[in-house]
C-alpha cells in the first residue's frame, strides 16, 4: 500500500514560480517509477514529468520541458516539481503518481497509486 500526499499548490502569477511536493509512504523501492500529472475540467489527466524514486533519468512532456524540473529526495521519500515561467495554461489540479510498470510513461492508466491532488491557479 502506497500513500501519496501532494502539497505546495496555490496561486501564482504568470511568469512566476511554484514548487510542488509529494510525500510518499508505504511499500516503495528505489526504482519505483513516479510521475507528476495535471488535470483540468473536461480534459484527461496529462503526464508532465517522470523520475524513479531514487533519481536518475527524467522525462518531460513537451508542454513543460525547459520550464519544469522534477527531482527526488529518496531519504525523505519525496518528489518535487519545480515550476518556472508559469503560464495560464499550467493551471489545474496536479497529481503525484507512483508504480507504473512502464517507467517514464505519461499514460495515467499505468500508474497504480495516486495522491489527492493539489490545485494550482495562475493569475495573469
pLDDT digits (tens, 9 = 90+) for 13-52: 999 999 999 999 998 999 999 999 999 999 999 999 999 9
**pLDDT, greater one: 27 or 92:** 92
pLDDT over threshold 90, residue 124: no
**Predicted pLDDT of residue 109:** 97
Q: What percent of the chain has pLDDT over 90?
A: 98
- Across 4-13, b (16+ Cβ under 10 Å) vs e yields bebebbeebe
**Is 52 within 8 Å of 34 (Cβ atoms)?**
yes
The mean pLDDT value of the chain amounts to: 96
Amino acid at each position: 500500500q502506497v500513500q501519496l500526499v501532494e502539497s505546495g499548490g496555490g496561486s501564482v502569477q504568470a511568469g512566476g514560480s511554484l514548487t510542488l511536493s509529494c510525500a510518499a509512504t508505504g511499500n516503495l523501492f528505489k526504482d519505483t517509477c513516479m510521475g507528476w500529472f495535471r488535470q483540468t475540467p473536461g480534459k484527461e489527466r496529462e503526464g508532465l514529468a517522470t523520475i524513479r524514486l531514487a533519481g536518475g533519468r527524467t522525462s518531460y512532456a513537451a508542454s513543460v520541458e525547459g520550464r519544469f524540473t522534477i527531482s527526488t529526495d529518496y531519504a525523505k521519500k519525496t518528489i518535487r516539481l519545480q515550476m518556472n515561467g508559469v503560464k495560464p495554461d499550467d493551471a489545474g489540479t496536479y497529481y503525484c503518481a507512483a508504480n507504473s510498470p512502464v517507467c517514464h510513461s505519461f499514460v495515467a492508466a499505468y500508474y497504480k497509486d495516486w495522491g489527492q491532488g493539489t490545485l494550482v491557479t495562475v493569475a495573469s
